[in-house]
Amino acid sequence: MLPIGVNSKAEASDCSIRSILSNVTGKWRMIIILALEDEPKRFGELKRCIGDVTQRVLTENLRGLQRDGYLTRTVDPGPPVAVSYELTPLGRSLLDRLKPLVFWSHEQMDQVRTARMEFERSQEG
């Protein structure tokens, strides 16, 4: 049984596990954690690696991950000043749990695409 209660409104609203899950499963946060798998990265490297994320959104997500203890932010005074981000042990622990989901997603990609196409066709008529 999962350690999360959703059987009643009180359980659902008071669930700290739900808060943690919603913070790590945001649109960009899992991608950021995966991008930091091999080594620390500077902000620009992360932005290039991730692609279509705005600077503001990347900054907000990095701060959230730092706040929750998944990564550290290190400032090298330079010159030039450089800021890098690195996974903490907690972040690495999360990464270890995300990897199976990434592999599963890759394995199921064709099945999901097929389901999406079938759904779109069913909505046309």
Position 35 pLDDT exceeds 80: yes
Mean pLDDT of 78-100: 94
- Where along the chain do its domains lie? 27-124
Q: What is the pLDDT of residue 63?
A: 97
Position 10 pLDDT exceeds 70: no
Report which listed range, 8-12, 26-30, 40-44, is most confident: 40-44
CA distance 60 to 109: 29
Residues 6+ apart with CB under 8 A from 58: 28, 32, 43, 46, 47, 50
Query: In CATH, what number does 27-124 get?
Result: 1.10.10.10
Q: What is the pLDDT of residue 25?
A: 82
CA distance 20 to 33: 15
Mean pLDDT of 35-40: 96
Compute how many other C-beta atoms are within 10 angstroms of the C-beta atom of residue 63: 12
Q: Which residue would you say has higher pLDDT here, 55 or 78?
A: 55
Q: Which residue would you say has higher pLDDT here, 3 or 63?
A: 63
Position 121 pLDDT exceeds 80: yes
